[in-house]
Chain A
Amino acid sequence: MSRGKKIHNLQIICIYVVLTLFVVCVLFPLLYAFASSFKTSGEILAGKNFWPTEWHPENYLEAWNEANFSQYTWNTLIYASATMVLSVLGNSVCGYVFARGEFPGKKIIYGMKTATMFLAFGSTTMYPTLQILSKLHLNKSLWGLILVAFCTGSMAFIFMVRAFILSLPREIDEAATIDGCSFMGIFFRITLPLIRPIIATIAVLSFKDAWNDYLFPMIVTFSNPEKRTLAVGLYSMQQTSVAADWSKMLPGTIISALPLIVVYIFLNKYFVESLAMGAVKG
C-alpha cells in the first residue's frame, strides 16, 4: 500500500515538474521580452544577461510619446470597444430572432448564414470588401471594419445564443407577451439579462479579436497613420525601422499586449470559454 502511494506521489511530482517546465517554455518569450524592454539598446545588442543590469523605464515613455503609442492605444480602445458592443448587439439579437421569432423564410436565412461558414476564402475577399467600403466612403477609417463586423456577425456566436435561448422556458416569454411586452421588448427586458454568461463570452472574444486584428486595419489606415491601432503601429514600426531598434519595439510590444493580459487575468474563465467557440467560428 505504502509503496503504491509512494509511486503515486512520485507520479504527481513528475507531472508538476513537467507542467512547470512547459509553462516556463510557453511564457519565456514574453518574460524575456519584458525583461529586455528595460535594457538600453547597447545591452540588448550584447544580449548577455536575462535581467537588465540597470532598469530603464524611460524606454516605455519613449515608445509611448515618440513612437505615438499613446495615440495607438486610444484608437485600439475605441475600435475594440465599438466592435465589441456592436457584435454583442448584432449576434445576440440575431440568435434571439432565430430562436424565438416566427417568420417566413427563417429556415432559408438561417441555412444561408450557416453555409457561409464553410466558404474558405480566407483573406482573399478583402479586396472586394475594400471596394464596397470605398463606395460607402468608409475605406479610410476603422468605422468601416466595425460596420462589417456588425453586419456579418459570427455564426458561432449566433449558434451559442440561439441554443442558450432555446433552453430557456418559453413560459417567461408568454407571460411577458400577456403583460403587453412586444417581441423585441421581451429580448431587451427579459432574455438579455438571462443570457449574460454568453454575452460576456462574446464580448471578451470580440474585444480580443478586434484588439489583435491587424491585416484589415493596416490596409484601411495605411494612408492615415494617426488612426492606426496598436497591432498595426507595432507592425509598421518593425517594417520601417532600418536597424531593429529593440529598445523601442520591445516596450511597444509589451504596451500592446499588457492591457489584454490584465483583462485576461481577471476574466480568464470567459476567455477560455470564448476560445472554444472562436475555434469553430470559421
Chain B
Amino acid sequence: MYEKGLRGGALNSESVLQRPFKEVNDTMARQKTKVKKQKYKKSIVIQSYVALLPQIIGFFVFSIYPIYWILQYSFTDYDGYRVAHFVGWQNYIELFTQDRAFWASVGNTVILTVMKLVMELPLAFILAMLLCSKSLKARRLFNSLLFLPTVISVTAAGMLFSYLFRTYNGFINNLLMDIGIIGSPVSWLAEKWTALFVIALMSTWMTFPINMMFFCGAIAGVPDEVYESAKLDGCGSVRRIFSITLPMIAPTFKVILMLALTGTVKIINEVMVLTNGGPSGQTNVVMLYLYNIFFGYDLTSGAGEIGYASAGSIVTTVLIGILTIFYLKFTKKADELY
C-alpha cells in the first residue's frame, strides 16, 4: 500500500513535474503554428498596401508603361496625329543605315563625356586632396563656397556662361585678347569644338562639388599609418599620391567614374540652354536629338516622328546599357591586372 502509494505518489509527482514542461511545449508549438499561419497581421498588411498604393500605381503608370509604350511605338510610323501603322523594323533599319545625324549626335555625346570627365575628375580630386589636408582650419568655409554652383539651375548657369563667353566684349574674349592669346574675338558658342568645350566646362562647374565630396570621403578613409610608413621609406609627396592615395581609393574612384559616365551620356539640359544643338545640329547630343524628333523643333507644332524617335530611344538605351556592362567588365579586368 505504502509502496504502492509511494509509487503512485512518485508517479504523480513525476507527472506533476512533467506537466508544466509539456504545457510549455504545447503552447510553444501552438504559437509556432500560429506564427506560421498568421505571419502577416491583417491590419498591417492592409495599411502597408494602402500606404504603398500610390507608389505601386506610379511604378506601373509612370515607370513601366512609358517603356512599354516606346517599345511598342518604335515599330510604327506614329506622328502624333494620324493612326499608327505597324512598319516592322523599318525605323531601326533607317536609324542604322541612313541617319547620319543620329550617329553624329552619339559621337558628340561621347566627345562631350570624355571632355567633361577629363576636366572634372582631376579637378575634383585635386580639390579634395587640398580640402582633406589635416591642417586646413577653414575647411567648412571652402567647402560651402565650392558647393554653391550646385544650387544654380541649369538655365541660370546657361545665362552665366553665355554671358561670360559672348563673342563681342565678353569677359573671356576680352581677357584672352588682353593677354594676347587670341587676336580677334572667338565666337565660342558658334563653333562646334569651342561650343562643346563651353558645354563641358559648364557641366563640370555644376557637378564637380559632388565628385569632390566623394573623393574627400575616399581620401579620408586611407589610414594615416600607410602615409607615415611611406614617408619613412623616403616616398615624396607626389609619389605618395600616385602610389598610395590613388590605388587606395580605386574602388571609390570606379564608382565615381561610373556615376559620372552614366550621368553625362544622358546630358541634354546643358546643351539645350547653351547652343540648343546649334550651329546647325553640330553640337547635338543624342538625348537632345531624340527630344527634338519627339516634340518637333518648336513645341507649337506638336508633331514629331514619334515612332522613329521611339526607335532611337530604344537604341540609345541599349547603347548606354552596353557601355555600362562594358565598363563593369573592363574594370573587373583591370582589377585582375593589379
Contacts and interface: CB of A to CB of B under 8 A. Distances in A.
Nearest to B268: A123
24 contacts: A15-B130, A19-B131, A23-B146, A30-B148, A32-B163, A32-B164, A47-B170, A90-B55, A93-B51, A97-B48, A121-B313, A122-B287, A125-B70, A152-B63, A214-B154, A231-B154, A238-B162, A244-B162, A246-B163, A260-B153, A263-B151, A268-B147, A275-B213, A276-B213
A235 B169 contact: no
B31 interface: no
B148 A148 contact: no
A26 interface: yes
Interface in B120-152: 127, 130-131, 133, 135-136, 138, 142-152
Which 7 pairs, one residue from A and one from B, show the smallest C-beta to C-beta distance? Answer: A151-B58, A47-B169, A212-B153, A124-B313, A101-B48, A122-B266, A128-B66
Interface stretch (A52-60, A193-201, A249-257): A249-257
A275 B150 contact: yes
Contacts of B157: 29
A211 B316 CA distance: 29
Given A11-B135, A19-B131, A124-B287, 11 more contacts: A15-B135, A32-B171, A97-B51, A103-B45, A121-B67, A132-B65, A151-B62, A183-B43, A231-B153, A257-B152, A257-B153
Nearest to B237: A11
B178 to A, nearest CB: 11
Interface of A: 8, 11-12, 15-16, 18-19, 22-23, 26-27, 29-30, 32-33, 36, 45-48, 90, 93-94, 96-97, 101-104, 106, 109, 112-113, 116, 119-129, 131-132, 148, 150-153, 182-184, 208, 211-215, 218-219, 222, 230-232, 234-235, 238-239, 244, 246, 249-250, 252-253, 256-257, 260-261, 263-265, 268, 271-272, 275-276, 278-280
A276 B151 contact: no
A23 B62 contact: no
A120 B66 contact: no
Contact of B65 (A128, A253, A257, A278): A128
A184 B47 contact: yes
A264 B169 CA distance: 32
B272 interface: yes
B154 A212 contact: yes
A238 B158 contact: yes
Contacts of B291: 123-124, 126
A250 B269 contact: no
Contact of B44 (A103, A122, A260): A103
Nearest to B174: A47
Contact of B262 (A120, A212, A219, A250): A120
B192 interface: no
Interface stretch (B3-11, B15-23, B226-234, B317-325): B317-325
Given A120-B262, A120-B320, A102 B295 contact: no
A151 B54 CA distance: 5
Nearest to B272: A215
B317 A121 contact: yes
Nearest to B52: A97
Contact of A253 (B48, B57, B144, B159): B159
Given A97-B51, A101-B44, A123-B287, A109 B56 contact: yes
**Which among B153, B166, B263, B291 has the greatest number of chain A C-beta atoms within 10 A?**
B153
Given A119-B67, A132-B62, A257-B153, A150 B136 contact: no
Nearest to A110: B52
B260 to A, nearest CB: 9
Contacts of A119: 63, 67, 317
Nearest to B267: A122
Nearest to A208: B151
A260 B153 CA distance: 9
Contacts of B69: 128, 131
Contacts of A261: 148, 151
Given A215-B272, A268-B144, A250 B163 contact: yes
B151 A256 contact: no
A247 B163 CA distance: 11
**Which among A128, A252, A268 has the greatest number of chain B C-beta atoms within 10 A?**
A128
B10 to A, nearest CB: 44
Contact of A151 (B47, B57, B161, B210): B57
A272 B67 contact: no
A257 B153 CA distance: 7
B242 interface: no
A26 B44 contact: no
B326 to A, nearest CB: 14
A183 B147 contact: no
A127 B294 contact: yes
Nearest to A125: B66
Contacts of B266: 120, 122-123
Nearest to A23: B145
Contacts of A239: 276
B210 A275 contact: yes
Contacts of A16: 136, 138
B277 interface: no
Nearest to A148: B62
